Amino acid sequence: MFRKNIVLNSILAILMSLMMFGCSQLTESYISVTKNKYTSLNTASKEVQLSAVREDSAAISHIKNPDKEVQIAAVKKYPSSIYYIENPTKEVQRIAVNKNWKLIKYIKKPDTETQLIALKQNGEAIKYIENPTREVQLTTLKENWKLIKYIKNQDKEMQLAAVKKDPQAIQYIKNPSKEVQLLVIKKNWKLLRDIENPDKEVQLVAVKQDPQAIQYIKYPSKEVQLLVVKKNWKLLQYIKNPDKEVQLVAVKQDPQAIQYIKNPSKEVQLVVVKENWKLLRYIKNPDKEVQLTAVKQNWHAIQYIKNPDKEVQLIAVKQNRQAIQYIKYPSKEVQLIAGKPVDMSLSDISFFASNKDISIKVYDGKLKIFNNTKNFLKILSIAEYNGEKIYSLSPLSIPPEGVKTLTPYSSVITFHSLDEEVLFGYAIEYKVGNSITKDLYETQKYSFKNFQ
């Protein structure tokens, strides 16, 4: 009864400690006590050490180089205490691993027998062994091929051991040998997807089984490309940069194959367009000759050309004016052929008229009037002729032998066809000093060709 009271009092004391100081402080106190308890354990006698390790799993952590007997006593009682043993003996390693295979992860350099003991319990133990022996690796693979993913240095024999067990093991092999690749592909060509850079011979073996295998080959050889495309041109879609010869083989089977060629050669483009101009829509930047070949067959082909050459534009609109709707930036000549009015800048032509009193010059978009006399020149009126329209400019006065620069009323001449001729010029009424009124009238005919 007395002892029971002591126990109850102890429990109450602990509870009071929790309430007063909190869990964390109590834990700190316990650690401090434990630490103090084993401070001299390192120099204690073997009997004391043995007693301590049998009592507490952490006790061995306070012994720097524990005796073999102490190690054995510790792991027999508490297998996980091997965590605190820096260099456990072989016997100690085996005792710990026999009880729990996962404890091998705490052993820096387990011997071969210890590794095998762990693996017999569970093959997953291989992932905790930093440098497993060759015998251990091969034993592991015979038991479970999937465990090859935990083996860093996979030699040819290991690779073969794994894929013979199951070809799917190839997915865990980083650089499979040619022999391993062939062994796998002969059993299942679809596993080519797990081989990053298959050997040329391996590629051929795979596509001969089924041409669809090409989709798993990143850089197929020319021979492989030809073999596949000859069997099925649609498989060209899986070849990133097909060889020129491969392109031709494909489009000669069916011009539709052009849709799977990113940068077709000029020869390939022509073969396709001659067969069907509508396939021009699959050619991103068709050659000029290809463009011409297409639009000569049908002007509608212009709609598939992003920036058609000027010559191509002309051929299309000459066939049908409606072709201009598909040309984003038609040339002015093309616009006129299509019946669209075109404005040509006065900056692109020159005009000159003169008599003994006055000269008129239009150049670089400016109108200049020269006084050729030694008297004041009074301009009474200026009429500008542009096609069927006449514009008036303000009167002015020019000093003797002076010049006035003006801006023409018009800045452009408008054409409605290639053959149209538009009248342009000036009529000026003027006086020299106090003389009678005189005039200068001059017009010229301009066609679109004058601006070329």
pLDDT > 50? residue 34: no
- pLDDT for 38 equals 64
Instruction: List the chain domain ranges.
Output: 2-37, 263-340, 343-451
Rounded to whole angstroms, how far apart are CA atoms 143 and 121? 11
Rounded to whole angstroms, how far apart are CA atoms 22 and 331? 89
Q: Between vectors from CA 330 to CA 328 and to CA 331, what angle results, nearest 5°?
A: 155
User: What residues contact 361, with CB distance under 8 A and at least 6 apart?
Assistant: 350, 351, 352, 367, 368, 370
Picking from 28-42, 206-220, 237-251, 321-335, which range would have the lowest pLDDT averaged per residue? 28-42
- pLDDT for 12 equals 41
User: 375 in helix, strand or coil?
Assistant: coil
- CA separation, residue 404 to residues 345, 370, 379, 384, 393 (Å): 21, 7, 11, 16, 13
Picking from 99-103, 290-294, 351-355, which range would have the lowest pLDDT averaged per residue? 99-103
CATH class of 343-451: mainly beta
Average pLDDT of the chain to the nearest whole number:
87
Rounded to whole angstroms, how far apart are CA atoms 307 and 225? 33
pLDDT > 80? residue 237: yes
pLDDT band at 156 (very low <50, low <70, confident <90, very high): confident
Q: pTM above 0.75?
A: no
- pLDDT for 52 equals 87
Q: Helix 90-99 vs helix 68-77: angle between axes, to the nearest 10 degrees?
A: 0
Mean pLDDT of 284-309: 95
- pLDDT for 37 equals 59
pLDDT band at 25 (very low <50, low <70, confident <90, very high): very low
Q: In this prediction, what percent of the chain has a pLDDT beyond 90?
A: 62
Mean pLDDT of 377-396: 95
- pLDDT for 39 equals 61
Both structure tokens of 387: 């096609």
Indicate the residue type of 37. K
